[in-house]
Structures are given as C-alpha cells and as structure tokens.
Structure 1
Amino acid sequence: MTVFLPLEASSPFPQTPSFLVPSSDPSAHVKRVVKAIMKARRIAVVCGAGISVQAGIPDFRSSDGLFQSLKKDNPALSSGRDLFDASVFNSETTTSMFCQMMAQLYELSEVAVPTAFHKLLRALDDRGRLLRVYTQNIDALEQKSGLTFGVPEVDSKRYKPRSNKGRPDGNGDAGPSTARNTPESRLPTPPIETPKCIPLHGTVQLMHCQTCTHSFPLRDYLDPLNAGRPPYCPQCTSLEETRQLVGKRSRGVGKLRPSVVLYNEMHKDGEEVGDVVRKDLMGSGKGKGRAGADLLLVVGTSLRVPGTKRIVREFSKAVHARSSPPSSTASQNESSTSTHGLATPTPSPRRSPAGDEESPLRTVYLNLDFPVPTREWEGVFDVWIRGDAQEFAQMVHNEMESERQAKEAARERKRRREEAALAARLEEQLQVDKPKSTKKRKGAVGHGDSQTPVKKCKTALLTPMSLSKRSSSSDNTKPKKQTGKTSRFAKDKGSRPPEKLMIKLPPRPEVVITTRGSKRAKVASPTPPLPASPLSPLSSLPPTSKPPSPMSPPRRASSRKGRGRKTNDVLDDQEPLTDLSSDETDDYTASYLPTLSYTSRRPGG
C-alpha cells in the first residue's frame, strides 16, 4: 500500500490508484518523512525534469512542456516527441530542427541557476548522506550545484599494458635484449572515483562523433547548430588528412551530434551506468560508505522511460529487503513477475490509517501526478507526496537548520557545564591547598618554619677612639650572671649565632734614636693605616695618612739615610715619619700612639 500525503491541505483525495491509503494526520506524516530523509545514511535519488522547471527549463509532458511547444512551433510534426527520437537523423529537415532545439536548450541551461531541490542534494552530499543521484535531465544543473557529474569509464575501456608473450625478441640469439620493458614497468592506474550524479539521458553540454565517439564541448559549435547544420568531427578530419598524406584509403569524416540519449537508441555509456547501478544496489563491500542504499527518493519524473522504471523498481526491492526482518524477506522473495520480466514485491494487504505511522519509510515518491499505469507501482512506494518539489525541499532545509541550531545550542550548554565543573574543581582544589592564615608579628624574621621577633637597634660607626674606650670599659666591668632566658640562637637547633665584628690593629713599632748631644730626643711612631672597612668613614682618617690601595703592589723595605735617623722595616709602605718633637702635637696622635722617652747614654759611660 502507499500512503497519500498532500502538501496542501485543500488537495482532494484521488480516486486512483486503488491501493492509496489516506493519512490520519498529513502534516505530521510529512514531518516524519522529512525526519526519515535526514536520518538516512545512503540516499539514492532518481529525479526528472520537474526539479528544473523553476529554473526556467521546461519539462516534457506537461501542458506547457517542451513537446507541446515544439508541436506549436512546427505544425509539420505529429508530436514534439518526434524530435527526441532516433529517427530524427533520417531527414535533413528534422536534423536541422533538432540542432536548433539543442542550441536553445543549451542557452537556457547556461543562464539557469540551481533550484532549492538542487541545493538540497548538495546539502545531503555535504552531510555525507547522499549515495547517488540518477538524473533524467540534460541541463546539468546538478553540476552547477556542486555535485560531481558524469559517467565513469569501465575497467575494460581503460588502459591495459600490452604483453610481450609470444613475441620473439628483436635481437634474436645475438645476446640479451637492451630494450626497456615499458608495459611491465608502468604503474597501474588508480581507480576513478564514481561521480555523485549519473546522467541517465546524457547531457546537452557535450557533443560526440557518431564515427569515432570522441566528445567535444557543445559551446564551441553553437554557430553551426543555430544554423541547423551539424558540424564535422575535428578528430576524424585530422585523421583523414593524415591518411591522405601517407596514401591510405579514406574512411570518411563523421559528424558531431549532441550527447543526448534519444528514444529507440542505445545509451553509448549504458554499460558504465549499469555498473554503477549494480554497485549501489548490492554494495561494493564491507566498510563505511560501501553498503547499498537504505532510502529511495523519486522526484519530478513520470516514470515513462523503461530503463528508469527498472532502476526504481530494483532500488525499491533493495531498500525494503534491508529494512525488513529475515522472515518477511523470505516471503518477499516469492514475488510475482510483471509483463516486463521485472520482479515486484507481493502486494501487501490494505491497512488502516492508524497503523501507517508504525511502518518504516524507505521509498518516497514526490510528484504532482502518480505514474501510470498504476498497477505496475503497487507496493513500490511507501508514501506519495503530492506537491511541488521546491516546497518540500524548503521544508527539509528548514528542518536541517533547526537541527543545526539545536546541535549548536547543545554544544554551548555542554561547554558551559564543563566550564562550571572545571571552575568548581579548581575552587575546591584551592580550598584544599590553601594553608591556615596566621598573623605575623611586625618585624618578625623567619628561620625555616619558625618565626622569631627581632628587636631593632642602632648601629654606631666604629672608630679607633671608640674601640679603645670600649675595650677599657669592658675590662672594668664585671661579667653578668646568666639568667634563665636563652637567646634565640640557642632555641633554634642547627642555627649558628652571627659572628662578631673583629678589627685587628697592627703592632706599634718602636724607633730608637741616638743623639750625640745631651739633648733629649723624642721617639715618634708613624700613624698606621686604618683597615678598609665600611664601618670606618673616610672623614675619620688623619690628614697626614693615606689609606692603602688594594690594587697597589707591595714595595720592598727601604731604609733612609739621614743624620742619625734609622727606620724600621715595618714602615716600608708608610709615608715619612712625622716629627713629634715640635710643640704642635696632634691630640689624636698623642691619644693613639703615646711618646716613649729614653735617656741618651754615651758610649763607655
């Protein structure tokens, strides 16, 4: 049985065919068909001229179709169908009319743009749900929409390397052959990908020679076609000129004709088309994208051509066999045979409209009229959608857009949930890893894990005067008794007390001066240089002394010859001695280096 689904609510229920069943809810049932198309994985589409009418290309059999318009323009014709018959080349008049008609159809197809249904085919292909498109149209709008278009070559017509088996070597027994074995070294040609769109009736974009079968673009021969003259084949013309130059007999020059399949003639690529149909029916093997079709969509065709009718019936059987359980498949194999020798499924009993929604939808027919004779199509289609193909294509487009928006919204919600969960985990981790906060005392210094307060104290600059006073005061003071308090260094195990600042003064040199007279002499000691320390400012140095430079090289000890004056070796790096016998004695020097007095003795005294 076939469920009738009108796109317009005002459409009446047809009286024929008798196996039609009305739907209890047509709008909901149409949505279910749309869902089935979107869920299908391998869709096989068979389309006709009805999908290109909106693009400005007329169909064939409608009241405004091409057959009726050709009949009006050429009253000599019994029907416009005569120009699409193979007998058109039997007469120069009909041949000229045919060439002019093909030129007009080419110009129409050049300015036409793909319709909404063509764009739907491209969208299905982009989603990876389109298995194949078998089109009866010759306008090649499927190629404009972005689908790969054409008929692949069969393996028998492709290049095959020649074998040298049975052929003697040109060198004979003279020695080994040095010729290259080109056929054996040639790599095999990779398999050609099958186009997504297969033209069942050819295309108006190409012309081919009836003699050598070479193809050429039709746009290069528009002028002779508009004039009603079929052009000569350039390949045959070139070959004929070459044969005349070498003195061979003529084989004739063929004429070009549009590569459109006419009634009562064989398809020049029929073998290749049959090979593609066979693979799509049975599947090319195991794996993704190699199984057969799981949904059949027939759109915009009246199914009058025998070859197209057989393709539709075979696909219907294949998709129903994949969706039905094994028990029903075994019973389906025992089917009746039609007058054309095609196996058709056994007609199923008429069911009520309530059970229509439970059956799977595998075959869909979309057209304004049901194909005739109707008895040949019983049990072939699951649903018949009466309406415009472009309107139905727009419904599928809208559903695709809604699904895309729903997926984007779901992805956005998932992303927000993941971000919220990640933020919660980070917050929990921070709470676990955060140490207990303790208030630090002002001025505390940490040693390891412990913190001990340190008192602030003032540091005074050390001078020789202060050092002498400190040493004298320390000698007079008594040592203090130890109290129960322990220093902070004793509390911390493993910590060492800071070292005290120690300044070592050089020994005071003594100089003995002997004089001849009875006059007393004073002994003066030179002022030793102070150590370079950051605690001793430069202002505290005596004006007569210069601090030693760390970069100055050491000098040898020297002695000065003078009048009864001798110097010690200790004063080798110092300045000349300062005479302290004068009345003007430096208070600082006197406090630092006291004067030693000696009584002069005469020799022998």
Structure 2
Amino acid sequence: MTITLDFAAQKSDFSTRHALSDLSLSVAKCKKIVVVTGAGISCSSGIPDFRSSDGLYAMVKEKYPDVILKGRDLFDASLFRDPTSTAVFHTFIAQLKQSIDAAEPGPTHHFIQTLDSKKKLLRSYTQNIDGFEARAGLLGSASHEAQTDGKGKSKIRAKEDHIDLFLEGLAPECPECLQRAEARIARSARSIKVGSLRPAIVLYDEPHPLGDDIATIQTADLSRKPDMLIIMGTSLKVHGLKKLVKEFAKTVHSVAPSSPAKAKKWLGKVVFVNRTPPGAEWAGIIDYHVAGETDAWVEKVIEDWKKMRPSDWEVQQTLVVTDGDVSMSGNFKVVAATKNKTKGRIPKIPKRRPATTKKTFPPLPTPMVLSTPDVASLPPKGIATPPLSPSKRRQTNSHYTVESSPSKRRTFSPMKGLEDSVRGLLFTQKSGGGESVDPFSDLVDLSMSSPPKAKPPPKTRRTVRAAPL
C-alpha cells in the first residue's frame, strides 16, 4: 500500500513530519540510489511540463486551436506526415529551445548532483530534453564525452545552428546530404534527394537511438542491487518508463529488511514525489507518495541530512603556497577537499610517559689524541710522574708484550750481546773533556716498569809511585 504524505501539512501533523524525517534519513544512509525524473523537476526553472493545466499540451492547444486537436499529437512521430503539423512542431520546439537556453538548473537538479558528489547516486534516468542535469554537473548521454566516445547510432548530435529557420516553421537542409549531391553533379552522376534536419529529440512511437545502450546500463544497475528508488516530476504514463520503474522497484524491495523492527529499516524504499498522485496500478510498488513540489522536498532532505549526519558535510581543505612564498603570510589556495572520515568519533590521543624530574644528558665529547703504542706524550720538565699500579699496568700492556715483563725486556733487549765499545759508538759521543755524553739523558723513562738499578763500578786499587830521584 502506498502511503501519501502531504508536504504542506508537516508543520501541523507530527506523523507526517516524522515520516518525512525518516525518508530524509534513508537518503542520507543509502549508498546506491536510483533517480527517475520527468519534466516536473524543471518547472521552477521556467520550463513547463507536459500534462499539467499550464503544461505544454495545454499551451499548444491554446496557441494552435485549428491545427492540432490534442497536445500529445505535437510530440508524436506521425506529425511528419503532414506539412502543417511539421511546421508547427518546428516553431514550437525552437521557442522551447530558446526558453531552455535562458533558464538555469533548479534545486532538484543540484540535489541529484549532490547525491553524485556524496557517492550515493547509482544512476539518474530522465525523460527531459532540457539538459539541465548536465549543466548541473552530471555526465549525461548528450555530453561531449558521450558524443565523442559513441559509435554508430549511439553518437548524438545535439548541435543546432538553425534556430531562425525552425522559428519560421522551416527545416534546414542536411549539410552532408547536400555535399554528396553536389559532388555527384560535379562528376555528371545522377543527382540524389537532399534530406532535412529535425530536432534531436525522441517522439512517441519512435525508437530511441540509444535504446540498446540504455538497456545494457539498466541491466548492469539492477545487478548492483540499488537500495533506494526516488521518482520525481513525472506522471508515469510512458510505457517504457513504467517498465523501468517497476523493475527497479522490485530490486529495491528485495534488499529491504523483512521486518520494520529489524536493523537497517531505512533500506529498500520507493519514494514518489509529485503534485499528482500515482495511479492504482502502483499500489504495492510505490511505498511513499510525497504530494508537493520536488524542490521543496529536496531542500528539506538536505536540511535534515545536515542535522542528522553533520560529519557527511565536513571537508578537510589542503593548502599550498603560491608564487613561491613559503612563509605563513603568503597567499594560499585550496587544491583538494576530502571528506572527514572520523564520522563524529573523538580521535584517540596517544598516551605519553610521565615526565621525570631527573634529566639525562649525553656525555660530553672528549678530545681526540693521536699517539703511537710505544710513545707517550712527555710530561713537563721538573714534574715527576708516579709509577702506575700493577693493575693499571695489566690493563695498559698485554701479558705477552715485551714491555710487560722486566725479564722479557732483558731477554729481548736489542743491546744484549754487544761489546761495550760498540755500545758506546751507538749511544754516546765524546765530549771535549773526553767523557762520554748521553744525548738522551734529559728524557724520562717511559716504560711501564721501574728502571733497573745501575751496578756500581768495580773498585780499583790505586798505586802511588814515587817519583825517581
């Protein structure tokens, strides 16, 4: 059963206001939303819809009462059979094109683009020919990318440079046909008939040039299991659109929870937003009918969304320095805006170790001294250096070195075995008085052991001789 919600009664009716808030929450939480739109979403932009009392059908009947019996006939493919109805069609579509060029996308178009920017829009299907979705920022089938990437019939040519001729009820000649005809005449070949251009829209009882592509896209979207369907601004009278909506509604209902009391009760809803209610055939297919303007409903959804989930609207801006200025006073510009992924959670602060009163400092560097293993720096003259203790001698010299043992020094002494005369030639020199002078007498013994005691000279007997008389 379809639940009807009067949008204008929400201020006085609590149940209506609560139900509308639930729909806003569903939009905020669902991640794969399919949107189907009609001409009603462009009424606020100044573009009339089709079947309203002030719509296109009523406008055509009022302007051409003797030519067109029904407004629908002006958008049927059979109008090209009659030159009068064809001329009226050209004039009317040219005027509509001028109105569209002067208008701007409305809140509903921007709402669909917001769903896309928030990574919630699975697909937007529209019947409209105004192209406002593309101007709002959505990539449509009539965009430049679709025109250049398409092949064969899927390539759309929406360029219209012949508005003046269409306003007069005339159709411009096809430039490609005219070029081929002139080339055949130049080589004396049989001439061919030159065709005419027509507005690039799909009429009733006409095959869609992108019908196969749309069917492929629809099949892919159904396999992705959309979790919400929003239908806005259409009366659901076209056969192809009715079939598309019913298939998507069935898939959306398949992901809904079996009981409203279970978790994720916001999933699997089909919402219809339009001024006129749906027909009886939509009972059990459409869950909620919001009676009102689409622009008013989408504005409430955005307002509720920001209140319920403010983290979805927080952005983190990245600043870079411009003009080579790296100081804080330089000019900055925003280069990226990323969504805040904290989702309202308080960030965890890392625990710090308690501060201690005792401070530790690294040891001061000691000056480097270059020396050799056998030579130490000489102390100043007149200052005697005490001999090292045995323990320090063991740390300084190894047990296996010559300097560590007096016996080994005597064993390995380079002076052992030399005669006294030779020894004097190596280490002493004769002074003027005939005494030998040691050039190294001022040096201090640098060995790690006490110097050996000098042996007393041998005692000699003196013989006193008397002088001869």
Which TM-score band applies after superposition, normalised by the shorter structure?
0.5 to 0.7
Whole-Å separation in 2 of the counterparts to 1:220 and 1:115: 26
Matched position secondary structure for 1:69:
helix
1:402-436 CA distances to partner (integer Å, 9 max, x unpaired)? Answer: 4243685883975742xx22x42xx16x76xx989
Find out whether 1:262 has 2:203 as its counterpart. Answer: yes
* Matching residue of 1:362: 269
Counterpart residue number, 1:45: 35
Number of residues of Structure 1 aligned to a counterpart in Structure 2? 369
Go from structure 1 to structure 2 and tell me whether the alpha carbon gap of 1:36 and 1:529 turns closer, same or farther (over 3 Å shift): same
Secondary structure of the corresponding residue to residue 46 of structure 1: strand
Alignment match, 2:69: 78
- Does the CA contact (< 8 Å) of 1:361 and 1:382 recur in 2? no
- Matched to 1:267, the amino acid is H
Counterpart in the other structure of 1:33: 23
Q: Which amino acid counterpart does residue 317 of structure 1 have in structure 2? A: K
* TM-score, normalising length: structure 2: 0.65
Cα 1:215–1:321, aligned 2, differ >3 Å: closer, same or farther?
closer
Q: CA deviation at 1:73?
A: 2.9
SS in 1 for 2:21: helix
Q: TM-score, normalised by structure 1?
A: 0.51
Quote the offset at 1:322 in angstroms: 4.0
2-structure distance, mates of 1:149, 1:228: 29
* CA spacing shift, 1:134–1:407, aligned 2, 3 Å: closer
What is the deviation of 1:299?
0.4
CA RMSD of aligned residues (A): 4.7
**1:296 and 2:229 aligned:** yes
Structure 1 residue 37 displacement after superposition: 2.2
Structure 1 counterpart of 2:244:
311
Residue identity matched to 1:34: S
User: Could you tell me which residue of structure 1 aligns to residue 296 of structure 2?
Assistant: 391
Amino acid at match of 1:225: F
How far is the alpha carbon of 1:111 from its aligned partner?
Answer: 2.8
Structure 2: gaps spanning 5 or more residues: 144-148, 315-339, 367-377, 398-426, 445-469
Looking at structure 2, the residues matched to 11 and 496 of structure 1 have their Cα atoms a distance apart, in angstroms, of: 98
Cα distance change of structure 1 residues 193 and 400 upon mapping to structure 2, 3 Å threshold: farther
1:142 paired residue number: 133
Question: Could you list the per-position Cα deviations for residues 503-540 of structure 1 after superposition, in whole angstroms to 9, with x for gaps in the alignment?
Answer: xxx9685326xxxxxxxxxx9999x999999xxxxxxx
**Gap change, CA 1:50 and 1:8, over 3 Å in 2:** same
Summarize the Cα distance change of 1:532–1:87 in structure 2 as closer, same or farther, 3 Å threshold. Answer: farther
Corresponding position of 1:239: 180
Structure 1 residue 228: Cα displacement: 2.1
CA distance in structure 2 between the partners assigned to 1:269 and 1:232 by the alignment:
24
Q: Distance in 2 between matches of 1:415 and 1:37?
A: 25
Contact 1:294 1:322 in 2 (8 A): yes
Name 1:382's counterpart in structure 2.
287
CA drift of 1:256 comes to 0.7
Contact persistence 2:254–2:268 (CA under 8 A): no
Identity of aligned residues (%): 31
Among 405, 424, 430, the residue aligned to 2:311:
405
Is the 8 Å Cα contact of residues 489 and 496 (structure 1) preserved in structure 2?
no
* Alpha-carbon distance change, 193 to 35 in structure 1, aligned in 2, over 3 angstroms: farther
1:3 equivalenced with 2:3 (yes/no):
yes
In the aligned structure 2, how far is the partner of 1:125 from the partner of 1:391?
20
Does the CA contact (< 8 Å) of 2:29 and 2:266 recur in 1?
Answer: no
Larger radius of gyration: 1
Q: Would the alpha carbon gap of residues 38 and 529 (structure 1) be closer, same or farther in structure 2, given more than 3 Å must change?
A: same
How do 1:155-554 residues align onto structure 2 when only pairs under 5 Å count? Answer: 216-281=157-222, 283=223, 291-323=224-256, 361-371=268-278, 374-402=279-307, 403-405=309-311, 411=342, 416-417=347-348, 420-421=349-350, 423-424=351-352, 427=353, 462=381, 495-496=395-396, 509-511=430-432
Contact 1:279/1:292 (<8 A) preserved: no
> Residues 530 and 88 of structure 1: is their aligned pair in 2 closer, same or farther, counting only changes over 3 Å?
farther
Map of 1:54 onto structure 2: 44
Describe the SS at the equivalent of 1:363. Answer: strand
Runs of 4+ residues deviating >6 angstroms: 434-438, 490-493, 523-526, 528-533
Q: Distance in 1 between matches of 2:141 and 2:343?
A: 42
Counterpart contact for 1:43–1:295, Cα < 8 Å = yes
- Over 3 Å counting, the alpha-carbon distance change for 1:489 and 1:216 in structure 2 is same
CA distance in 1, matches of 2:201, 2:39: 14
Q: Quick one: structure 1 residues 224 and 407, their matched pair in 2 at CA, closer, same or farther if it must change by over 3 Å? A: closer
